[in-house]
Structure 1
Amino acid sequence: MELKTILEALYQNRSQAHLANDPLSFCHRYRDPRDQEVAGLVASSFAYGNVKIIKKNLAVIFDVMGTSPRRFVERFDPRQGSRDFAGFKHRFNDARDLCALLLAARIMIEEAGSIEKWLLRFYTPADEDLTGPLSGFSEAVKSLDLSPVFGPGGVPADSYFPFFFPSPASGSACKRLCMYLRWMVRPADGIDLGIWQGISPAQLVIPVDAHIQRICRFLGFTSRRQADWRMACEITRALRQLDPADPVKYDFAICHLGISEGCDGKDHLKCAACPIGDICAAGPV
């Protein structure tokens, strides 16, 4: 069976159980695209580490944000935010970093009307992918006036706020930003939301986490070992051969072979039952 046929079957078998085990599920709490856009920025920013801990900490944030993340951000007061989120911690990001993220979202919305329109300042439709737009976006966010959170000295050295906005220019795989863009840009299909219309899905770059890094090596989509921007682009180019208009279509399904189905490339009993086992280099021999 050819590769695309197998991956199409994997795509069709995505489930709501997979979605419930994904940070993207927090965006699906809301119907208004303006709320989903803000929820997506927050959820993707903290989407690193153990998925159970991610979901637990995101639940804390969204419980405070209430029924409308967009309205919460529009009215966000960093002083009140420091009280609302006192004691918050997600690995090395703390309440101060969270408040800076929410303030950055507020500024973007005030300046452009939406996060999408603010990002589009750096976007060129003719680009093959989003290397340039993401680099410009990240650097511009880190240059915003966040003194209401950090004080007049700028972002202090001990803050991990810049971790939210890595750049392809530095070689980072930018996994969480690429994931956010996939959620927003890909056509609505019950998983991704398709609420941003200004960017072409053909320009998306796959979010490379540990699962994508491992499984896409097994599938022959990359020969690289380091999860960096070059690997992300190499995998995306391979996927573009299967679907030029929507190259990251299979990302969620492949990723959840690891997140939800427990693939580690070592358990051949699992490999034998895996839907991609016949084409995967880690599959049973």
Structure 2
Amino acid sequence: MRNRLDLKNILESLYAARSQEHLANDPLSFCHRYQDPRDQEIVGLIASSFAYGNVKIIKKNLAWIFDRVGDSPRLFVERFEPEQGFRLFAGFKHRFNDARDLCALLFACRTMLEQEGSVEGWMLRFHGQGREDLTETLTGYSEAVKSLDLTPVFGAASPPGDSYFPFFFPSPASGSACKRLCMYLRWMVRPADGIDLGIWKGITPDQLVIPVDAHIQRICRLLGFTSRKQADWRMAREITAALRKLDPADPVKYDFSICHLGISEGCDGKDRLKCLACPIAGLCPVGSP
């Protein structure tokens, strides 16, 4: 591996090369359809919750949801009633999440707005400014959401055993990498740069933890940012710690760029023909001579 300065320069070039084509191929693009930060916050929570699986299917299902939500997602959530949702979202399915799970997510979001005025305000209940990262924040947030009374949706306070609503709110306490929650926080917290939105101010960018999906897991292992094999919370923190050495104030700055080497550019860690045009080929053992 090259020295830290070379690595930072190459990643900075990669960051500068982000494009609207990359954004269009990302669930974050749905947030950019709305101008009001209050709408963007709601859209981000929904979009990130379903951001697992094939990106084309993710985008198709999110488009289906937001076509029904209408012009003001914030207003829709404020007025949301589960019975209405069951009719509006009848037949919805995204892998193992169904219309009940979607309605429970919307009802939980409505509860957050009622209690604190925003999703950010609700999450800040569990956040401390002096913390190094979001370990305790996400642990408290996820456990609290899963403890909400969801009787209007499920007919009982807790989801039944066949509901995958809890899947939306993983916790570092269980070892999960919490990829979708970390991604949502990156969207909300990082400074507005044409990709991320920078609409939350109560959490600082230096506290973010990188969202570890299959692309980040593979590419960051190749770059030497982690030696771990399992995509868990320890891997997420290890990669973030390595990136913090490059940019202490904004350690997940390069997440979108690195991730889209896989999502948009087709890097699979195997096809050396793709390495010929890859900007990090000189850093990666697959693309090295």
Query: What TM-score, normalized to structure 2?
Result: 0.98
Q: Deviations over 1:105-151 (max 9, x none)?
A: 00000000000000000000000000000000000000011110001
CA contact (8 A) 2:147 2:158 kept: no
Match of 1:251 in 2: 255
Query: Partner of 1:75 in structure 2?
Result: 79
> Relative to structure 2, which stretch is displaced further, 130-139 or 265-274?
265-274
User: Does 2:152 correspond to 1:148?
Assistant: yes
Query: Percent of aligned pairs with the same residue?
Result: 78
Q: Which amino acid aligns with 2:209?
A: V
**d(CA) in 2 for partners of 1:24, 1:246:** 19
Tell me the residue number matched to 2:172. Answer: 168
**Mapping 1:87-102, distance limit 5 Å:** 87-102=91-106
Q: Which residue of 117, 139, 147 corresponds with 1:113?
A: 117
5 Å matches for 1:1-285? 2-152=6-156, 154-285=158-289
- 2:221–2:227 Cα contact (<8 Å) kept: yes
SS in 1 for 2:282: helix
How far does residue 272 in structure 1 lie from its aligned partner after superposition? 1.9
1:218-271 Cα offsets, whole Å, 9 max, x none, are 000000000000000000000000000000000000000000000001111111
Out of 6-15 and 263-272, give the one that drifted further: 263-272
- Following the alignment from structure 1 to structure 2, what is the Cα–Cα distance between the partners of residues 94 and 152? 17
**Corresponding pairs, count:** 285
Residue aligned with 1:273, SS:
coil
CA distance in 1, matches of 2:155, 2:209: 35
Aligned residue for 2:276, secondary structure, equals helix
Q: Please report how far the alpha carbon of residue 152 of structure 1 lies from its aligned counterpart in structure 2 after TM superposition.
A: 2.2
**1:272 and 1:284 in contact (8 A); partners too:** no
For 1:269 and 1:197, locate their aligned partners in 2 and report how far apart those are by CA, in whole Å.
43
Q: CA deviation at 1:153?
A: 5.2
Structure 1 unaligned spans of 5+: none
Per-residue deviation, 1:282: 1.7
- The alpha-carbon deviation at position 283 of structure 1 amounts to 1.2
Which runs of 5 or more residues in structure 2 are unaligned?
A: none
8 Å CA contact 1:268, 1:284 repeated in 2: no
Query: How far 1:284 moved relative to its partner?
Result: 3.6
Runs in 1 of length 4+ with deviation above 3 angstroms? none
User: Aligned to 1:278, what secondary structure does the other structure show?
Assistant: coil
Q: Which moved more, 1:260-269 or 1:144-153?
A: 144-153
